[in-house]
Amino acid sequence: MTKVTPPAAYIVWCTDYPGDEPTRLREELAPAHFAHIETIFDKIRVAGPVRDDNGKTIGSMLIFNAESEAEARALIDRDPYAGAEIWESVEIRPFLPAAGEWIGGKIW
Look at residue 62 in the predicted model and tell me its pLDDT.
98
Please state, in angstroms and rounded to a whole number, the distance separating the CA atoms of residues 95 and 71: 14
Please tell me whether residue 31 adopts helix, strand or coil conformation. helix
Please state, in angstroms and rounded to a whole number, the distance separating the CA atoms of residues 14 and 80: 13
Low-confidence ranges of the chain (pLDDT < 50): none
Specify if 2 maps to a domain: no
Look at residue 103 in the predicted model and tell me its pLDDT.
80
Look at residue 3 in the predicted model and tell me its pLDDT.
79
Domain residue limits at 64: 9-96
In sequence order, what are the residues at sequence separation of 6 or more whose Cβ sits closer than 8 angstroms to the Cβ of residue 96? Answer: 6, 9, 107
Specify if 108 maps to a domain: no
Look at residue 34 in the predicted model and tell me its pLDDT.
97
Specify if 43 maps to a domain: yes
CATH number at residue 84: 3.30.70.1060
Look at residue 1 in the predicted model and tell me its pLDDT.
64
Specify if 4 maps to a domain: no
Specify if 35 maps to a domain: yes
Q: How many domains does the chain have?
A: 1
Could you tell me if 16 and 104 are in contact, meaning their C-beta atoms sit under 8 angstroms apart? no
